[in-house]
A and B are shown apart, each in its own frame.
Chain A
């Protein structure tokens, strides 16, 4: 028989003192969870999380769909249905018993911001098919420059060029009859899942430029109190072009910009009788060809520079 006194553990010096620097906690939800208890069945070894996800997903129908979960089927009305983790049931009717711990960010719009904790991340809008064909028509038929189309519809130049590329691929596929029934269903479903671009709402800001690095650091200047100081003066101090100049440059159409072919001078050596070698000399910059004696090689480094040749193979450079 064991007396109660034997159960008392006596701490010993140096032993039994456990230093817990970081105790891993399981990722329990903060909201008031309504997870069914383990069944009284002896063989039910399901964990809390297994039961939690089961009740979150809800019942399945004959076809194996979680037909009552409001996130199971994709939205088809151009209005995304991103998650709102307020602790309300996502299966069937919500019981409106949201936990006081979780106060949803008021600035968040669940049809625009996909992640509940990050309001800086937004889904972009998809450009309607009609607008795409209109853009192609403007460029191909009306002969407008891509820059002009970009200004007209408030879409950045890069995206206009991308649309032109993809539309040409799409028309080619249509002509070749390569779009299968499943593929067109897929594209239709995906198209209806995203918000539509409706200019001028959500149009791109065309005055964006990469932030000049000079403006990212503090710069101190002592001036008289009465001396006026504005953005133009700031541009002068930082040795940057004035915003109005940059803006004018951005709205310019540089359509007649031609890529100048660089001619490389080649000297071919005269081949003489009994020569075993034919010489050809081309101009080149030091460092861009060959190895310089004594220069360090990167081939032993872990961030060895790699490139890809025209066949798509990886090569070290």
Chain B
């Protein structure tokens, strides 16, 4: 049984606890440095032990902790210290005061970020969701030894480290608000797109690191430019020799008087070339003039020089291929130049406004609250950033789906030096007991060394 407690995250008491609650974060934020001015030694020791015990093994009674406490503190010596030449930092030995707690399974679970507090870790262990070396252990005090592999049921970890799952009412409320806001946006974007565009550009940058990856202007511009680059390639691939010959023959046979104006779309120089080429075909009364289907043209251009017996025809084929090659080259060049001109400078901040900016926006149907409450699977939410009801995509899971990290997780995410964690499988290895070395203590604690020193003095006194 853990120690009974009330209002563990009291803001007026302001103790820092081993938990990832937002209240705890605020307590940590506003925590004042512990001062000893005008206090007797015993008062100092008492304050120090009260503060540290509120964080280390808060769930244990004082008498239980006293049996766990080991006054001989373990540290390490670095043999290459004298070789380095620089001054060696002091070793915070006193920070090992609570090191004997770290080998307990519950604490290791919390340190490995498989539970959001030590008390939650205890719950996971008691409910049989934790294994050590493949065996279910139901005792939170199980002492881990170096090399032990412990694991937690992944659903429990996702529950502990994820956002809490909203109730159906909460999800409906959020979604109705989201849909109303979205429909308003679609309405505004269709009636006054430029104003909405400018409003979007002026919006401050989102702090969301999980979902708003596309909000980065640089990435947007890169994507825009990539699209343009790809379209250049697509357009160039379209301009083949047979395509050009097809165009020339069709334009030529379509008009009575063939001159440069007929091939105006080819440009100044290329139109001359096209005229002369068409004349050659017309003069030799080539069968393609009458039967200029695409397949025939392709077949003609694919024939090799050796396959043609007639000398004049051989000459015509060679000339055709050469002229078409020249036209194709210049056409490719113009496509490339046009495409590159339409790209945006990478240093520019925004994508320029076009009429197509808000293309393809759709209004969302309103949700029928009563019907969804009867049958939740009837809810159809298809917002651009969300499918399914808010946080309730997969109803069988006890956490917010799709999984989203819990609030303020970044402030509590500390990778412990004495554990090796595999988040992908929710397994971790207890590598060794945490140690103190020059300039570092592996026991994770919010308190400085002088507080631990006094707490150690409190517990290491004689006659205990």
B-contacting residues of A (Cβ < 8 Å)?
Answer: 22, 26-31, 47, 49-50, 52-53, 56-57, 62-77, 80-83, 85, 90, 114-126, 156, 158-159, 161-163, 165-167, 169-170, 173, 178-187, 189-191, 193-195, 205, 207-213, 215, 231, 243, 246-247, 250, 302-303, 308, 310-312, 314
Contacts and interface: CB of A to CB of B under 8 A. Distances in A.
A166 B422 CA distance: 6
Nearest to B449: A120
Interface in B60-92: 63, 67, 72, 74-80, 82, 92
A158 B432 contact: yes
15 contacts: A53-B26, A71-B410, A74-B209, A81-B410, A83-B28, A118-B446, A120-B439, A120-B440, A120-B441, A123-B415, A124-B415, A180-B154, A186-B161, A208-B78, A208-B435
B448 A75 contact: no
A74 B207 CA distance: 9
Contact of A162 (B63, B402, B420): B420
Contacts of A187: 422-424
Given A72-B207, A121-B444, A182-B158, A169 B82 contact: no
Contacts of A52: 11, 26, 30
Given A49-B12, A189-B210, A211 B77 contact: yes
A120 B446 contact: no
A153 B207 CA distance: 36
A77 to B, nearest CB: 8
B11 A63 contact: no
Interface stretch (B173-181, B229-237, B310-318): B173-181
A165 B79 contact: no
B403 A66 contact: no
Contacts of B399: 182
Given A66-B407, A161-B147, A169-B425, A74 B79 contact: no
Contact of A207 (B80, B142, B429): B80
Nearest to A105: B448
B168 to A, nearest CB: 15
Interface string B423-462: 1111111011001110111011111110000000000000
B423 A191 contact: yes
B13 A183 contact: no
Across the A-B interface, the 8 shortest Cβ-Cβ residue pairs: A27-B14, A162-B429, A29-B30, A49-B11, A162-B420, A74-B410, A187-B423, A303-B67
A190 B411 CA distance: 12
A312 B132 contact: yes
B113 A210 contact: no
SS class, residues of chain A in contact with chain B: loop
B425 A53 contact: no
B408 A115 contact: no
Interface in B138-163: 138-139, 142, 146-147, 149, 154, 157-158, 161-162
Contact of B142 (A116, A159, A211, A308): A308
B423 A209 contact: no
Contact of B11 (A27, A67, A121): A27
Contacts of B407: 65-66, 72
Nearest to B428: A166
* Max chain A C-beta neighbours (<10 A), residue from B135, B177, B402: B135
A312 B441 CA distance: 31
A62 B178 CA distance: 7
B301 interface: no
B424 A179 contact: yes
Contact of A308 (B11, B74, B139, B209): B139
A211 B75 contact: yes
Contacts of B158: 182-183, 186
A27 B27 contact: yes
A72 B32 contact: no
Interface residues of B, number: 98
A207 B138 contact: no
Contacts of A27: 11-14, 27, 30-32
A203 to B, nearest CB: 12
A115 B445 contact: yes
A310 B439 CA distance: 40
Contacts of A231: 82
A91 B147 CA distance: 43
B79 A209 contact: yes
Contacts of B416: 124
A213 B75 CA distance: 10
Interface in B154-198: 154, 157-158, 161-162, 166, 174, 177-178, 181
B414 A114 contact: yes
A40 B327 CA distance: 81
B425 to A, nearest CB: 5
Contacts of B449: 118, 120
Contacts of A77: 209
B397 interface: yes
A73 to B, nearest CB: 5
B22 interface: yes
A183 B28 CA distance: 30
Contacts of B351: none
B403 A182 contact: yes
Given A169-B422, A181-B402, A186-B158, A83 B32 contact: no
Contact of A80 (B26, B92, B413): B413
B118 interface: no
B369 to A, nearest CB: 17
Contacts of B13: 26-27
B210 A173 contact: no
A215 B76 CA distance: 11
B76 A211 contact: yes
Interface string B205-221: 01111100000000000
Contacts of B437: 205, 208
A311 B397 CA distance: 30
Contacts of A208: 76-79, 435, 437
A123 B412 CA distance: 10
B429 A165 contact: yes
Contacts of A193: 409-410, 413
Interface string B17-61: 000001101111111110000000001000000000000000000
B409 A74 contact: yes
Contacts of B177: 62
B405 interface: yes
Given A205-B437, A211-B77, A311-B135, A62 B181 contact: yes
B95 interface: yes
B129 to A, nearest CB: 13
Nearest to B164: A64
A209 to B, nearest CB: 6
Nearest to A114: B414
